[in-house]
Structure 1
Amino acid sequence: MTTLRPDVTLDYLRNRQRGRLPDLLGVELVSLESGSLVGELPIRPELLAPNGFLHAASVIGLADTCCGYACIAHLPEGAKNFTTVELKSNHVGTAREGKIIAKASAVHLGRSTHVWDATVTNADGKLVALFRCTQMILY
């Protein structure tokens, strides 16, 4: 199992997202531990769908960002980067205000692929979405 890389910190990841989609969305990183990463997304009108509820793409953006950052923090020795090869989400709730929180958790940390799950909840802990992605490790 790949371990947490000591050179990848929350500040490193925050700097990496400047001027990129996670920055535009407003993703805020909360914690990074071996096998997991937590991030939040404050809800604002621009992240809502025309129906007034949180847009699914906003939820996926947070979940995919958290899983991707967790992958970076757990890259095996010699790996340079990763790319997403598959993702899936099940949306079971929504939100209109406050924030959503994603916790990315490692399922499989191999030398050629990683599989990450994220659970997305609202600030009250109500389930919003379940997310899974497969990352191809690049050398």
Structure 2
Amino acid sequence: MKYSKEEVLSRCKEICKNTMMETLDIEFIDVGDDVLVAKMPVTPKVHQPDGVLHGGAMVALAESVGSAASMLFLDAEKYYIRGIEISANHVKSIREGEVFAYATVVHKGRTTQLWDIKIKDVEDNLISVVKLTTIALPKN
């Protein structure tokens, strides 16, 4: 990583302004050489009608952290990053608290990247497993 942890997290915070990430209160909280971590509060704002975390909100969290990781681990000055495929398996429901998304790279190619994103609760219980494929499109 060519930037400090604080610089990276500050950049992530900046890119979230006036976006869905801000609407869902997604916050990037940690970064390492091969992982980016974000959290999202579980409140009625992200519930489905029966009061549990909406699967779509989890997918939005996962794509947000995976796409941001692609931007960080590739050269975002040279490429646009787009999600091109996502699949999620929701294994446990949650009604309140926070969830944490951990994006780790499975494949970091020049054009496509494959991300494994685990979403867990505060007690480290697995809530969802997400696979995200991103593509790096050259800026011309």
TM-based fold match above 0.5: yes
Q: How far apart in 2 are the matches of 1:5 and 1:89?
A: 31
Partner of 2:3: 6
Deviation of 1:38 after TM superposition, in Å, equals 0.5
Query: What is the rounded CA distance, in whole Å, between the counterparts of 2:103 and 2:76 in structure 1?
Result: 21
How far did 1:79 drift? 3.0
What does the per-residue CA deviation read over 1:35-93, in whole Å, with 9 as the maximum and x for residues that have no partner? 11011001111110001111001111111111111110011487322111111000000
State the match for 2:52 in structure 1: 53
Percentage of matched positions with identical amino acids: 25
Match of 2:112 in 1: 113
Aligned partners of 1:81 and 1:137 also within 8 Å:
yes
| RMSD (Å), alpha carbons | 1.6
Q: Structure 1 residues 90 and 135, CA, compared in 2 at 3 Å: closer, same or farther?
A: same
1:79 maps to which residue?
78
In the alignment, the residues of structure 1 paired with residue 93 and residue 67 of structure 2 have an alpha-carbon distance, to the nearest angstrom, of 22
Gaps of 5+ in 1: none
Aligned AA (2:51):
G
Q: Map of 1:1-139 to 2, 5 A cutoff?
A: 4-6=1-3, 9-76=8-75, 79-139=78-138
Cα distance per residue 1:12-32 (max 9 Å; x no partner): 111011010011000011111
Compute the TM-score of the two structures, normalised by the length of structure 1: 0.92
Give the deviation of 1:6 after TM superposition: 2.8
Question: When the two structures are superposed, what TM-score results if normalisation uses the length of structure 2?
Answer: 0.91
Q: Which amino acid aligns with 2:3?
A: P
Q: Please, which runs of 5 or more residues in structure 2 have no aligned partner?
A: none
Aligned positions, number: 136
If asked which structure has higher relative contact order (CA below 8 Å, sep 6+), I would say 1
